[in-house]
Each structure stands twice: as structure tokens, then as C-alpha cells.
Amino acid sequence: MLALAEQGAPDGIWLRAGRQTGGKGRMGRGWESPVGNLYCSALVRLRASDPMPHTLALVAANAVHALVAPLCAGQARIKWPNDILVDGAKIAGILLERAGDAIVVGIGINVTDYPRGLDRPVTSLLAQGAREADAGALMERLAQLFGHWLAIWRAQGLDPVRTHWLLNAHPTGTPMRVVQADGESVEGAFDTLDQQGMLILRLANGHSRAIHAGDIFLT
């Protein structure tokens, strides 16, 4: 999709892979890609009037949550900045990449399988009881949901997107540890998202700290 973006591909196109040989997550981590799961990307061409590009992660999270939540036996929650969890186990991830005025929104959802032996719990739609889930049909529905939230993001700004995200995310007060890119670890409790989509962490001393990026571990 990045290559297509550089060749002038239009806003709104989607690609789906049946499997990936070089799937990746945040910070270049590998993403196991067996046949049966959903691996797809959407292309968003930025406009001058659009909100901040990084907040497309909230748009995507709202869409993915709306897709998987009704299919899962457990409770689906959004985890900042880019994961969907079901009863604490990861079921989907989101990755934004930029090429000029184009943002590629990559989405991976565990449909029929999930990796084993990781340092955190993982699940799939099949494991959650969604036995008729098909990756192709799921992408069609996901594209509709993403288009819905993208239109709200463009017409009304970030606020309604952020409000909906907060309704479906880890509750206020959730204990968490943040490991930042420089290796610094910060512990506290989830407070909110600020008006730019940054995570606000409430520290033990009562102060607040804005987190721009990092790995989140719910504790």
C-alpha cells in the first residue's frame, strides 16, 4: 500500500492479504500471519482541514472495536494506542505509516488463529465463539465502519471520535505501566486522553503526565 500511495493511489482504497511473509507491528516487531486471519490496509489522503494525522489511530480503533465486539464472548476494550483486547487478551492491532500526504492504516485481526508463546495473552475471534467469521467479509464490514468514523473525524473533528474511544477503552483508574522508546518505565493509572489524543497518566504523587508514545502494560 505504501508503494501504491507513492504511485498516486486514491484516498479510500483497501488491500487485503491472505497471508504475509513480512508482517510487522509497532517498532518493527514481527506479526505472525497464518492463513485465515485478516491483514488489511486502508489509504487515507490527508486534507488541509483534517485533524492531526496520528489521531487516525483512534478512528481505526473505533472501527475495529465496533467490528469485533459483537462477535466476542468476552468484553472487547480498546488499549491505547493501537490494540483491541478481549478480557485482557489481544485480538487486533493497528499500525499507521506515512508516505507524503498519505497515511496507510494497517490492521491485523486474529480471526481463526493466534500466536502462542508470547509474553502477553492473545486470542482470536474463533476462540471467542465467532465460528462463521470470514476474513474477506470482515474486511468489507470494517471498511464501512472505518468510512463512518473517518467521515465524522473529517466533518466534526477529533472530539466525537475521542469521546467514543473513551467509552470503549480501559476505564479511568486502570493501573498501567508505560515503557517509552528510550527505555524509561513509568507507572500510574489511566486518566484520560487529551485533546490531541495523547494518553494522560495519573502518577502516584497525584501529578499527571502526558504520554506521546510507548508500550502499555496493564497491571
The predicted pLDDT at position 30 comes to: 63
The predicted pLDDT at position 32 comes to: 65
The predicted pLDDT at position 8 comes to: 95
The predicted pLDDT at position 21 comes to: 74
The predicted pLDDT at position 183 comes to: 83
Task: Look at the alpha carbons of 11, 91, 175, 63 in this order and tell me if their dihedral is positive or negative.
Answer: positive
Q: In the chain, what is the greatest distance between 2 CA atoms, to the nearest angstrom?
A: 51
pTM: 0.92
pLDDT in tens, the chain (219 residues): 999 999 999 999 999 998 877 665 655 566 667 789 999 999 999 999 999 999 999 999 999 999 999 999 999 999 998 899 999 999 999 999 999 999 999 999 999 999 887 778 999 999 999 988 899 999 999 999 999 999 999 999 999 999 999 999 999 999 999 998 888 899 999 999 999 999 999 999 999 999 988 888 887
CB atoms closer than 10 angstroms to residue 21: 6
C-beta pairs of 68-75 under 8 Å, 24+ apart in sequence: 68/92, 68/109, 68/125, 69/168, 71/125, 71/128, 71/129, 71/130, 71/133, 72/125, 72/128, 72/129, 72/130, 73/128, 73/129, 74/123, 74/128
| Cis before 81 (ω within 30) | yes
